Structure 1
Amino acid sequence: MITEILLPAAGAVSLLGNVWAARTVRGLRGRLAEARRRAVTDPLTGLANRAGLTRALAGMADESYDLVLVDLDKFKQVNDTYGHAAGDRLLVEVAARISAVVEDIDGAVVARLGGDEIVLACPSPAPLAQILGADVIAALAEPIEVADGVAVPVRASVGAVHVTAGEDSSRALAAADAAAYEVKARGGDGMVEHNVLAALPEVEQRPLARMREMAALVRVLGVTA
């Protein structure tokens, strides 16, 4: 004999309502977490984006860290010769190789600032930015396949700086960018480290563009002098 157990109508509605509410809340939390993740993540490479880097550097403000900026050389030529899909493929592999350099370092972050500029930062009580930059260059030594049967060499202009606790992260980025541009002005494929004993540069309204304009002017004057 089968005995039916019937819930009171009001109880059944209440139970269903609670289940629906719980599932809705979980769904909303999941979508919110995903939206927050996307807000600080570069969609192509999976690295942190500029906002993600800013957040990470803010978390390092009370400690010393090494900062390396990587500006790929002749990246536009890859896009122009093989297409943007090839350029994207190159960036994804470069991001993976650079990430591998610091994957075992707690608190390290790798970010794509946009275009072909990638920054990595990791806590470091001692000034080891030059070693970190050299590791990045070594990681990019092997050619990268950008299309079936097509591999291209990867060269980069690298700027490195050791940042002491309490320094402004925007000034640290400006110093690394200026160092990388110094390499670029010399023809690329190398590294310059910001003098650890020198003060970080002041940041103007358009710091990176302004510093690059000044570097270009110095280069022209040096050639014409």
Structure 2
Amino acid sequence: MKQKKELILPIATFLVVGIILSGLYIIVSKQAATQNRERYRYIAASQSNMIRDCIDTVLARAYTLGALVFDNDGSTAFFDRQAERIYQETKNDTGISLKNIAIAPDGVVEKVYPASGNEALTGFNFMDASKPGNAEAIAAYQRGSLIITNPFDLVQGGTGLAGRLPVFLPADGEKEAFWGLVTVTMDFHELIDTINLRKLSNMGINYELWYKNDNGERTSMAASERMPIDPVSYEFSIDNLTWYLDVSPADGWIDYEETAVVFCVIFAVALLIALLLLNRGQIKKANEKLQRLAHLDSLTSCYSRHYVNTILLNQRNGSWNDPDSRYSLAIIDIDNFKNINDSYGHDTGDRAIIAIAQVLEDNSKHANGDCVIRHGGDEFVLLFNDVTNERFISKLASIVADVRKIRFPDMPDMRLSVSIGGEYYSDPETSLYYNMIRRADEKLYQAKKNGKDQYVL
């Protein structure tokens, strides 16, 4: 039970230190995770801005076409001269090839560049709601502004992303009249290659570029080999489009190896502190034991005279260090001890001293502060703390009687007895230790003179 109590503090310390350090690490980790997510949000925002700028740069050619139609009063004669220039400038400026440039008076495609590969587009009616892919063209007409499509499969093959721009011209009696549409369609895969989303993978980032279709379903446009887990999702707009770029660390947000190492260190630190406390307790216990041994008589294990002088007494005036002490004192001397040593040997003398010390211990109440002190040789001092006079007398008589009963089976004829001089506590002024010892010693002398084997008060 005592060992269990000694372990309570180290175990509690281990748990408390472990919990505190773990809590601090978790707080710091959360702050670092928040900062890390903000960093990834910045990466996603930068990449999204690049996508938006690239698309805006390409689709700005739709406004160039619209301006040319306006400047030529709706004539399309300019197209053959200007289309190739627009195509090459776009390639040179952005690195993206246009799938086609088209003009569609009244919404019907009249001319396309390049013509090769786009034959199926000539005559296509963008305003026919029954045909797939025309929703954006009709929406552009209704809104009167550029509409950008999400990536779609081209009738001539491949994947494109197009801008549909309605053109309105002044008309007699009307402010404006719908002329038709101009369209610019880029190669979507070249767009992805140009913005180089794959570099995110080289940076250890998983990504996905996606949008919600008309049914609200998630539609992926480009993604790394491994999809991002618990990603930072950055939403951005390109005119009428809303796209999302999700990013997350390829190795995950938590570095499990680092976390394992940190918790091992936390465990080691908590364990070290607990062991230091345990060791400190053991050292303290060992020191207390050594100190106690220094105050104990090696033969009888009673307190030594050194204990009285260093612990109980103020040696300057003989007062008790504990002002609440109310000691009554008795000096006990073994009768005829020299004859015992001479007749039976010093080993037997030691046995007699030990046996009598045990009688004194049995008649003491240590919980109340009683002390048995081997004062020297065959002499003991017995301190009774806060004892009544009746109990003091009773104990002295009991000691004398109990010593008479001591027997050694191997020496049945040997008899032991003690003489005692007692001094009862009266008041602090007259009950100083040295005064009490002197008076008790006088009464011990009287007991010896009266025949021994008795006590005198």
With normalisation by structure 1, the TM-score equals 0.70
Distance (Å, rounded) in 1 between the aligned partners of 2:372 and 2:339: 24
Which of residues 402, 411, 425 in structure 2 aligns to 1:163?
A: 425
- Supply the AA of the counterpart residue of 2:432: D
2:375 matched to 1:113?
Answer: yes
What amino acid is aligned across from residue 43 of structure 1 in structure 2?
Answer: S
Distance in 1 (CA, whole Å) between partners of 2:331 and 2:301 is 17
| Cα contact 1:68–1:132 (8 A) shared by 2 | no
Q: 2:407 aligns with which of 144, 162, 177?
A: 144
Residue 192 and residue 61 in structure 1: after superposition, are their counterparts in 2 closer, same or farther (change >3 A)?
A: farther
Shift of 1:85: 2.1
Is the CA contact 2:328–2:385 (under 8 Å) kept in the aligned structure 1? yes
SS in 1 for 2:291: helix
Q: Deviations over 1:78-115 (max 9, x none)?
A: 22222222222111111111221233872222211121
Which of 295, 300, 324 is residue 40 of structure 1 equivalent to?
295
Listed one character per residue, the Cα deviations across residues 148-190 of structure 1 (whole Å, up to 9, x for unaligned) are: 5114211112101112231211111111111112222444222
Query: How many residues of Structure 1 are paired with residues of Structure 2 in the alignment?
Result: 189
State how 1:1-225 maps to structure 2 within 5 Å. Answer: 6-8=260-262, 11=266, 14-15=269-270, 17-54=272-309, 55-56=311-312, 58=320, 61-62=323-324, 64-103=326-365, 106-124=368-386, 126-128=388-390, 129-145=392-408, 149-151=410-412, 152-166=414-428, 167-193=431-457
CA distance in 1, matches of 2:322, 2:402: 25
Deviates more, 1:161-170 or 1:125-134: 125-134
Query: Do the aligned partners of residues 165 and 185 (structure 1) sit closer, same or farther apart at CA in structure 2, a change above 3 Å counting?
Result: same
Structure 1 position 45, deviation (Å): 1.3
CA contact (8 A) 1:66 1:162 kept: yes
CA RMSD across the alignment: 2.9
8 Å CA contact retained: 2:420, 2:456 = yes
Q: Compared with structure 1, are the counterparts of its residues 183 and 35 closer, same or farther at alpha carbon in structure 2 (3 Å cutoff)?
A: same
Change (3 A) 1:79 1:190: same
| Structure 2 unaligned regions, length at least 5 | 1-255, 314-319
Residue 125 of structure 1 and its aligned partner are, at CA, apart by 5.8
- In structure 1, what is the Cα distance between the partners aligned to 2:389 and 2:286? 41
After superposition, the Cα gap between the structure-2 partners of 1:20 and 1:154, relative to the gap in structure 1 and judged at 3 Å, is same
Name the CA distance, whole Å, in 2 between partners of 1:179 and 1:105.
28
* SS class of match (1:154): coil
| Secondary structure at 1:163 match in 2 | coil
Shift of 1:46: 1.6
Q: 1:171 to 1:61 in 2, by over 3 A?
A: farther
Larger CA Rg, structure 1 vs 2: 2
Q: CA 1:105–1:13 in 2, change beyond 3 Å: closer, same or farther?
A: closer
Percent pairwise identity: 24
Distance in structure 2 (CA, Å) of the matches to 1:190 and 1:50: 24
Cα distance in 2 between the residues matched to 1:10 and 1:143: 64
Using structure 2 for the length normalisation, give the TM-score: 0.37
Q: Structure 1 or 2: larger strand share?
A: 2
Residue 47 of structure 1 deviates from its aligned partner by: 1.4
* Aligned-pair CA distance for 1:117: 0.9
